[in-house]
Amino acid sequence: MAKTTLKKVHGYLAEFESAVDVYHASEQIRDAGFSRWDVHTPYPVHGLNEAMGVKRSILPWFVFFGGATGTTTAFSLAFITQVLIYPTIVQAKPTNIFTTPAFFPIMFELTILFSAFTTLFGCFALMGLPRWNHPLFASKQFKKFSDDTFIVCIEARDPKFHQAETKAFLEQVGGKNIELVEDEL
């Protein structure tokens, strides 16, 4: 496909000088009802989740069912092979449902393994990873977030986004160097 010179708006970037500033700005952005936006900080800021109004992730539910699948898989694997298909009799111990303790180690391990995989890949899926590039990487000032600057980005896909009003709003909450980031189509 031929490249075009057309671009689409990704969103607005605004710089803040301190964690306090970005914290209070986040509270105002949250209260204004934005949903598609994020804060980029050089280090974790305690309480920022609450200030941003971030909801609890649904990842734990994935992990729960991932882990349960692991337990079931391990139990079936051991029970079907060791009891149903080929009963393994050791030291005259019976092979039936009451020998389940012998299967506990493998049930434990597979529960952990499946939970860990679900956590990792579920996390990737929810974050939209892996991907080749991100529109924000086009911005020169964005790089400073990993050094000494706190950056807020309100994305254009937010239903409340407005080219003029959102910019004014970011200025009003104290944002500096507000930049319109565009993405190549």
Partner 1 sequence: MELSKVSKLNGIFLGVGALGLLISACYMFGLLGEQRQKEFAYSWLFAFFFFFTITNGGLFWTMLQHISNSGWSVAVRRFFENLAGNIRVMAVFALPLIFFSPFKNALWEWIVAHQDAAAAAGGDTLKGLEEASHTNHHLHILVAKFGYLNIPFWTLRAVLYFVFLGGMATLLRRWSIKQDGDGDFKHSFRARAFCAFPLLFYALAVTFSAVDWVMSMDYTWFSTMWGVYIFAGGAWSSMALSIIALSYVRSHGYLKKIVSMEHYHLMGKLLFAFTVFWAYIAFSQFFLIWYANITEETRFFILRNTNNWWYLSNILVWGHFVLTFVLLLSAGRKKKPDSIVWVCAWVLIMHFADIYWLIIPERAPSLSHGTVLWYDGAWWGDLAAFLGIGGIVGWAYLRRLATASLYPCRDPRLLESVKAVN
Residue 5 binding partner 1, by CB under 8 A: no
**3 Cβ partners below 8 Å, 6+ apart?**
184
Minimum distance between the CB of residue 126 and partner 1, rounded to whole angstroms?
19
Distance CA 28, CA 81 (A): 60
Residue 46 binding partner 1, by CB under 8 A: yes
Compute CA distances 62 → 31, 117, 122, 129, 145, whole Å.
Answer: 30, 10, 7, 17, 31
Nearer to partner 1, 33 or 105 (CB): 105
Q: What is the DSSP letter of 59?
A: H
Helix (H, G, I), strand (E, B) or coil at 112: helix
- Please report, as residue ranges, which positions from 79 to 118 form the binding site for partner 1 (by CB under 8 A): 91, 93, 101-102, 104-105
Nearer to partner 1, 79 or 103 (CB): 103
Minimum distance between the CB of residue 70 and partner 1, rounded to whole angstroms?
16
Residue 178 binding partner 1, by CB under 8 A: no
Alpha helices (H) along 1-137: 19-31, 48-52, 59-79, 104-127
Minimum distance between the CB of residue 180 and partner 1, rounded to whole angstroms?
36
Nearer to partner 1, 104 or 121 (CB): 104
Q: Which residues bind partner 1 (CB under 8 A)?
A: 46-47, 91, 93, 101-102, 104-105
